[in-house]
A and B are shown apart, each in its own frame.
Chain A
Amino acid sequence: MHDEPAPRRHLPSPHRRGFLATASGLAGLGALTLAGCGGGTSGRDDAKGDGKPRRGGRLRAAFAGGGASETLDPHLGNLFADVARAKALFDKLADYGADLSARPRLARSWEPNAGLDRWQVTLRDAAFHNGKPVTARDVLHSYRRIADPKRAFRAKASLEPIDLTASRAVDRRTVEFVLKRPTAEFPNILAAFGAYIVPDGAEDFDRKPVGSGPFRLVSFAPGRSTVLRRNDAYWDGAPYLDELEFIVANEESARVNALLGGQVEYAHELNPTTARAHERGGRMEIVRLPGSTMQAFAMKTDRPPFDDKRVREAFFLIADRKELIDGALSGAGQLGNDLFGKGYEYYPAGLPQREQDLDRARKLLKQAGADGLRVTLDTSSVAAGFTEAAAIFRDQAAKAGVKITVRNGSKDSYWSDILDSGTLCSYRSGAMPIESHISQRLLTDSTTNATKWHHRDFDALYQQAQSTKDDKARAAVYERMQRRLYAEGGFLVWGFADWIIGTAPAVGGVDREAPANTLGWARFDKVWLR
């Protein structure tokens, strides 16, 4: 029951959380184990900041993750742990930069036709771990596998605009994608969550996953540990680390303890209170990735009382965002301005920051005939800070004469429960391009439209943006759409939570800008150990 897993078959059904520990005392860890050790010995050289990259060593990273049911199939990834592991083994054609704009990865370049419904993607000179080059056939196989109607891969919805029957390999390194409609943001699709490129015909990933990523698999024990080794032939430069081990520790305190005790060098997803306690302790580095998680309340705009935009505006004005961030996120976040994607490409940063204005809120409610309004706020402990934020907002609303009843729901089925029922609910979202947020949540035919924002003219603006080749003109359309959401949308976005990571003092090269889910986040090929 150790290391090398027994041969396993897998079903085309996704899985959940992370990995665990192994022993395997492989060479080259002496230095780093010492450096990571509890007493706060901060490595061997006195380099300030990150210093010069150094080659070698083994980094152990603890994530909250899945149990015994995890697999290495990159298309099945659902959780942060899955994605971190998938991106170490595999590549996508593109990935998101810190501002959530698509950056070329396995694709070297992309070129649309005039109508924006045919895109030529040229692949770079990259090879899989078995030495075979990454070709157009591999790309088409991967996308067809994801889009297979008999399966339920997460990225399937993202690939929907592509007509994969008509798309073809022009030559070994060129793919022509035929789209069902003009899609100016097509590169976002190439960077979509889970859209990894696997070799043509690959189906079984648990025994010997072959990717093109910066690390190759050494051993995988589901729910325990995943050990990877440097891919010296990596197209983006070989990683500094010799080895990388993913370990699963679902309990936050266990991740922190393992880090403090020198048992891991990287602990993912820490609480704000932990961060505050250790920020200046010198025993661990706290890395805060800003703009990682939108925190909001979602109002259903198709039913009373929120079908009246004055009520929605009143709710915008009820929120004391600072108090919400301090209370629910322990201060680890930035103010929200009722729009998704602060700091991302196309975000209208020029709009005035909305402040609490209870008098105006009361006036608006009165105009809407909603004095003495009673609302039920659905929430759940499904995400950090949800129930706290709900209680704080309930008290804020009371000051404007609105009586909110907080209803706690099951965390396992929360997202499905709040999609269609209720009127007001806690909501959050990980990082994605603003365009994806709109297409997934704010169009009439969006699949997860939790605010029930159904407006044909808004849909038309989205189509217009997608058909606009000129970047400036397209940005102007996005701004128009977002101004409307700012004025009367259904998302009361009160904050953006930092994503908090702890590292041993010996770890260098950890990206401090990239929101969770972007290229720089959990990227271990550019990390080194001092």
Chain B
Amino acid sequence: MTPVRSWLARRLLLGAAQTVAVVLLVFALTEALPGDAAVVLAGDQPDPARIAAIRDTMELDRPAAVRLLDWAAGLAHGDLGTSLVSGRPVNSYVADGFGPTLLLASLTVLFLVPAGVGLGVLAARHQGRLVDRAISTVTLGVYAVPEFALGVLLVTVFALRLGWLPPTAVGYGTDLLAHPAALVLPVLVLLSRPVCSLARMVRAGMIEALASPYVAQARRYGIHGARIRYAHALPNAVAPAAQHLARTVDWLLCGVIVVEALFVIPGLGTVLMNAVAERDVPVVQGLAVVFGVVTVVLNIGADLVTRGFAPRAEVTA
């Protein structure tokens, strides 16, 4: 095996182990939550006989290990299990929620990379001067605003006061792409913090790279400034940012809960939140697997990108 292949194999194995660990951990944690699905469902009618009956219909009386094994057996052939609460397959939950979340995440990344990298490079070029100080101040400021607050602010100004954009995605169903106006504010809110952190990272990386001996050497050769910046310094500056980006994408996919709730977009974050509140363990588990796999895949991708940009930054598997 080539070094890259064996590295990839080790990386995949580790990823699988991580996914299994996530699933076990999630199972243990949901078991440890106070109250089970029956108690939650009984709500303000906690008649003990009724709770027992619900528990019975949901087969919650079976030992935890048996339930886990049953579920894991289904997992082997792609069956994520069945919701305790509705009796519908968890796969359909994931399928229904994945579209809107994936759309939001892709759009965000689409804008995030140019915006974040661009701002970072711009700031680094003008290091210490007004542009840099302005960008640094604004990015730090925006980063400090929680998504919820920013969302409410944007909705109030752009949707309710000015009437330029719809305040929520209500009425557009899952066909959000056909109504781009409804996506502007959610994507802006999603972009706000990652753009800031990415810009600051790229800026720091660029400044470091521009001050490095190899850039100094390149200058001595008389290489053009733009070429130094974009062909030599930027790839090195982007390498750590790629890791960061992977985590951001992960964060986007695994529950843009606040944005989904604020703009009424029925994505995976909403599914997860409801499932936890309902103690619908199979759904929580199923989503954990999906999220685990996504995280592992994204991180492998990020590692590959990092290797590509800066091969000497060996990534340990």
Contacts from A to B (Cβ < 8 Å): 1-3, 6, 8-17, 20-24, 38-39, 60, 62, 66-71, 78, 149-152, 154, 156-157, 221-225, 247-251, 253-254, 257-258, 260-261, 263-264, 410, 412-413, 415-417, 419, 428-429, 447-448
> Contact size class for B?
35 or more
Q: Return the contact of B168 from the options A23, A70, A254 (Cβ within 8 A).
A: A254
**Are B47 and A415 in contact (CB-based, < 8 A)?**
no
* A300–chain B nearest beta-carbon distance, Å: 15
Cβ of B8 within 8 Å of any chain A Cβ, yes or no, is: no
Q: Chain B 112-144, CB within 8 Å of chain A: the 1/0 string?
A: 000000000000000000000000000000000
Contacts A253-B262, A257-B168; A415 near B174 (Cβ below 8 A): no
* Listed A/B pairs (26) with beta-carbon separation below 8 Å: A1-B174, A2-B175, A9-B87, A9-B88, A13-B84, A14-B41, A23-B172, A39-B163, A67-B274, A68-B96, A69-B83, A69-B283, A70-B86, A151-B57, A152-B57, A221-B173, A247-B170, A248-B264, A249-B170, A253-B262, A260-B160, A410-B33, A410-B35, A413-B39, A415-B44, A447-B48
Q: Return the contact of B152 from the options A8, A253, A258, A260 (Cβ within 8 A).
A: A253
Q: Which residues of A contact B43 (CB under 8 A)?
A: 78, 415
Tally of A-B residue pairs with Cβ under 8 A?
209
Contacts A21-B264, A247-B264; A412 near B173 (Cβ below 8 A): no
Contacts A17-B274, A263-B170; A250 near B40 (Cβ below 8 A): no
A62 closest partner in B (C-beta): B170
* B67–chain A nearest beta-carbon distance, Å: 15
Q: Which of B139-195 contact A (CB under 8 A)?
A: 152, 155, 159-160, 163, 166-175, 178-179
**Are A250 and B261 in contact (CB-based, < 8 A)?**
yes
Most chain A CB within a 10 A radius of its CB, from B87, B179, B270: B87
Q: Which residues of A contact B179 (CB under 8 A)?
A: 23
B278 closest partner in A (C-beta): A16
**Are B35 and A412 in contact (CB-based, < 8 A)?**
yes
* A433–chain B nearest beta-carbon distance, Å: 16
Q: Which of B92-119 contact A (CB under 8 A)?
A: 92-93, 95-97, 99
Cβ of B249 within 8 Å of any chain A Cβ, yes or no, is: no
Question: Which 4 pairs of residues, A with B, have the shortest CB-CB distance?
Answer: A413-B35, A67-B274, A11-B87, A447-B47
**Are A13 and B262 in contact (CB-based, < 8 A)?**
no
Cβ of B50 within 8 Å of any chain A Cβ, yes or no, is: yes
Cβ of B54 within 8 Å of any chain A Cβ, yes or no, is: yes
**Are B41 and A69 in contact (CB-based, < 8 A)?**
no
**Are B49 and A447 in contact (CB-based, < 8 A)?**
yes
Bound Cα distance from A179 to B170, whole angstroms:
47
**Are A1 and B35 in contact (CB-based, < 8 A)?**
no
**Are A224 and B46 in contact (CB-based, < 8 A)?**
no
* A247–chain B nearest beta-carbon distance, Å: 5
Most chain B CB within a 10 A radius of its CB, from A68, A70, A263, A417: A68
Bound Cα distance from A428 to B44, whole angstroms:
9
Q: Return the contact of B54 from the options A14, A66, A223 (Cβ within 8 A).
A: A14
Q: Return the contact of B167 from the options A70, A152, A257, A415 (Cβ within 8 A).
A: A257
Cβ of B263 within 8 Å of any chain A Cβ, yes or no, is: yes
B47 closest partner in A (C-beta): A447
Q: Which of B260-275 contact A (CB under 8 A)?
A: 261-264, 266, 270-271, 273-275
Q: Return the contact of B86 from the options A3, A68, A251 (Cβ within 8 A).
A: A68
Q: Which residues of A contact B271 (CB under 8 A)?
A: 67-68, 223
Bound Cα distance from A63 to B96, whole angstroms:
20
A67 closest partner in B (C-beta): B274
Q: Return the contact of B173 from the options A10, A13, A224, A428 (Cβ within 8 A).
A: A224
Contacts A68-B86, A263-B166; A22 near B171 (Cβ below 8 A): yes
Q: Which residues of A contact B84 (CB under 8 A)?
A: 13
Cβ of B279 within 8 Å of any chain A Cβ, yes or no, is: yes
* A250–chain B nearest beta-carbon distance, Å: 6
Q: Return the contact of A263 from the options B41, B85, B171 (Cβ within 8 A).
A: B171
Contacts A68-B97, A261-B166, A448-B47; A21 near B34 (Cβ below 8 A): no
A13 closest partner in B (C-beta): B57
Cβ of B45 within 8 Å of any chain A Cβ, yes or no, is: yes
Bound Cα distance from A412 to B87, whole angstroms:
21
Contacts A247-B171, A254-B264; A448 near B45 (Cβ below 8 A): yes
